Amino acid sequence: MGKLINKILGKQSSSDIAAAITKAQAELEAAEAAVAAAEEQYDAHLLTADKKSLRGFLDAKTEAGIDVDQARARIQRLERDHEAAVESEAESERQAAYDRAKELAATARKKLGDYEKAAMAIRDVLRAIAEADVAVEAANADLPDGAARIEKPEECRSSPNLYKKVLKEEVVELWAGIGDQSRPVEHQHRVRVEHVGKRVRSRWSEEDFDEGGWEKGYYATDGGGTIEVVKRRFIKRTYLPDDTGQYAVSLASAVSLPPAIVGGPVFFEPGSYHAPGLLAKLDQPLPPCRIRAERKPEIEYVLAPKEVALAS
């Protein structure tokens, strides 16, 4: 913001001045190099050149020295200007933040004037819920023939429990370890097949391998060993898992509507209300605002200071 204001006012921004400082420093380095070169030329020709030529070398050195002095002076001035520009931009930012805060505070104070209206609207929502709850409870207690139970209004605010739902089932053939044929091995691609198409039995026990086995193979375990496996038929089931729902507490037990101003009425206090009790509470008129008592003058005595006590 400060840089934008400086641009509008035709002032250089701190970034522009910083770029100028960088350029001036490069000019200073070039001027210092020119001075060094002129001194080198002068010293190199002291014994060989005539006075006129030497004066030329001295003039070049003097000119380069002037360039050095001017570059240093420019840098000093630019550094002062840069410091002032940085402070000016910071002050502009502070002023902009201050003005923005005042604007937001004024807007918020106006919005606070809408609080009472909003609080009364929320009370109307609570009343509508309570009236509906009373009616729904009465209707559900004596339903007409074939009528379904009516849900209370706030039941829609909760998410119900979702239970396992099977989407698809299909029969698949997978390798399973002998002795643990109730589940397939994890990495089916590790099985080395043997005796494809022949019925075989485990060489350890006939009980380990029932009549459902069609093929035999060897499975490479993670530990580097092998176990004997057989093909089994499994039911592959695709399903949606259980999902625990979330119960929403009633608004009447959570909503708090404090006074808009000190001394004003409490619009609503949360509590565990049954619908009739909530209606009874909402039917009660709000108390009037407490009027601040007018202050009355009082008298006190304090010891006078020395200069007052000694004054005639």
pLDDT in tens, 106-117: 999 999 889 999
Q: What pLDDT shows up at residue 9?
A: 39
Could you give the CA distance from residue 42 to residue 39 in angstroms, rounded to a whole number? 5
What is the rounded average pLDDT of the residues 46-51?
Answer: 82
Q: Is residue 212 over pLDDT 70?
A: no
Contact at 8 Å (CB) between 214 and 197?
Answer: yes
Q: What pLDDT shows up at residue 47?
A: 81
- What percent of the chain is modeled with pLDDT above 70? 89
Contact at 8 Å (CB) between 189 and 181?
Answer: no
Q: Is residue 49 over pLDDT 50?
A: yes
**Burial letters 274-290, b for 16+ CB under 10 A, else e:** ebeebbebbeeeeeeee
Tokens of 225: 């060993």
Tell me which residue of 187, 224, 231, 190 sits closest to 209, measured CA to CA: 231
Please enumerate in sequence order all residues whose Cβ is within 8 A of that of 64, keeping only pairs 6 or more positions apart, or say none: 31, 34, 35, 37, 38
**Residues forming beta bridges with residue 235, ordered by sequence position:** 171
Weakest mean pLDDT among 71-80, 176-185, 203-212, 288-297: 203-212
pLDDT band at 62 (very low <50, low <70, confident <90, very high): confident
What is the rounded average pLDDT of the residues 48-59?
Answer: 84
Q: What pLDDT shows up at residue 210?
A: 45
pLDDT in tens, 66-91: 989 899 999 999 999 999 999 989 89
**Residues forming beta bridges with residue 176, ordered by sequence position:** 184, 230
Higher pLDDT, 306 or 156: 156
Q: Is residue 253 over pLDDT 90?
A: yes
Pairing, β 226-240 against β 191-194: unpaired
**Burial letters 211-240, b for 16+ CB under 10 A, else e:** eebbbbbebeeeeeeeebbbbbeeeeeeee
Rounded to a whole number, what is the largest CA-CA distance in the chain? 132
The pTM is what?
0.55
Tokens of 153: 């209004």
pLDDT in tens, 127-143: 999 999 999 999 999 99
Q: Is residue 287 over pLDDT 60?
A: yes
Q: What pLDDT shows up at residue 214?
A: 54
Q: Is residue 203 over pLDDT 60?
A: no
Q: What pLDDT shows up at residue 8?
A: 38
3-state percent helix, strand, coil for the chain, nearest multiple of 5: 50, 15, 35
DSSP per-residue codes, 256-268: -B--SSTTSPP-B
